[in-house]
Structure 1
Amino acid sequence: MNNDESQPENNKPKYKGKYRIDSTRLPAWSYASNAGYFITICTHGKKCFFGEVVQGEMQRSPIGVIAQKLWYEIPNNFSNCQLDSFCVMPNHIHGILVINQIREGDAMNIRIQEEDAMNRVSTSQRGDGQRGGVTGLFNPMLSKNSLSKIVRWYKGRCSFEINQIYEGFGWQQRFHDNIIRDEFALDQIRQYIINNPINWESDREHPPHPPL
């Protein structure tokens, strides 16, 4: 399984300072589909590379500035991706990515691919060598502009630029994602992202050690 694919967890999500998005990867869901996705990416070892929270406000380090700058460059490299709420925290980032296949014919092509994959998924689950492994054509790495490829580009670009000024920076191998189902969930997640610095002291990602 690709290192950048998110993995399912057993914790139930909560909001108001205790919320944690766990992966809900669906085997019959194309992660190039039009949808909003709530993304959490943590630094390796959850080290506080990106700065610190002071009186409820995030004070970004030069590394944190790079992490923020490159997030806003995602649409320049993936025309199907739009940005919503986003924040850099000391040892992780939260952001909403909206995949919207806006080019003519894209939506129709994706729908045809999904229908074809649904017809073939039982074969791929038998492990008979079909392209895409057990996920068949739902394998996120088979789509040019899939969620996994967008996140992989972001993580890779951050690692490259940050290591020019600070050797030793790295990300956790995986990331957490949550498919945003409706406007109510979208509003809740936006509020969670906005309030993340205020709730940092009670955040489960808050490290027991001081920032770098």
Structure 2
Amino acid sequence: MKYKYHKQYRLPGFDYSSNNSYFITIVTKGKKNHFGEISNNEMYFTDIGFFAEELLKKANLKLEHLTIEEYVIMPNHVHFIATIFREDNDFKIPEKGLMPLVPKSISSFVNRFKGRLKRWANENDFAYFEWQPRFRDRIIRDEEEYVVIKTHLQNNIKNWESDSEKL
């Protein structure tokens, strides 16, 4: 009998709705350049790229528990640092089975972001646009790591050639 290995993407038992900063990467399906192109160290957005940026900016206006601290939209992926601050948190680790989508968590934000962008794309004749399943996250452990990641995002466009091969 063959067993299919499923990579664990989230840290088991970690509360992704807890007060932390998170480095998130979301990639388009097949790493297709749906968000724009880079020329002369500048990102030129497509309509899909403009709407992705609009959604990230609106998150800071609409969400009290989550702030997008820094972001960069690249031709085929989005990087951002999101910080969650919640006074109320009744997270409980499930005893068994899959972790449900926890409200006000990083996963619920990414799920909503990806869904809203895909729905907009479908409604605006860009139905070919698709995301890769899942997303990558890193829990930012301290101020030093935060600064390193922030600097990476700020330099991402000029480092596009080397960065695009790592996805």
TM-score, normalised to structure 2, is 0.87
Where has structure 1 moved over 3 Å in runs of 4 or more?
A: 75-78, 204-207
Mind listing any 5+ residue stretches in structure 1 that lack a counterpart? 1-6, 9-22, 126-132, 208-212
- The one-letter amino acid of 2:57's match is Y
- Cα distance change on mapping 1:32 and 1:206 into 2, 3 Å: closer
1:156, 1:89 → 2: CA distance? 19
Task: Work out which of the two has the higher radius of gyration on C-alpha atoms and give 1 or 2.
Answer: 1
- Match status 1:186 vs 2:146: yes
What's 2:23 paired with?
38
Does 2:106 align with 1:147?
A: yes
Equivalence map 1:161-176=2 (5 Å): 161-165=120-124, 166-176=126-136
* Residue-pair matches, total: 160
Q: Which has the higher strand share?
A: 2
Which residue of structure 2 lines up, in the alignment, with residue 71 of structure 1?
Answer: 56
Assess, with a 3 A threshold, how the Cα gap between structure 1 residues 186 and 206 changes in structure 2: closer, same or farther.
closer
TM-score normalised over the length of structure 1: 0.69
Gaps of 5+ in 2: 1-6
Give the fraction of aligned pairs with identical amino acids, expressed as a percent: 39
- Output aligned runs, 1:102-113, within 5 Å: 102=87, 106=88, 109-110=89-90, 113=91
RMSD: 2.0
Give CA-to-partner distance per residue, 1:114-169, whole Å, 9 cap, x none.
4xx4xxx6xx24xxxxxxx15xxxx251x211111110000000011122222211
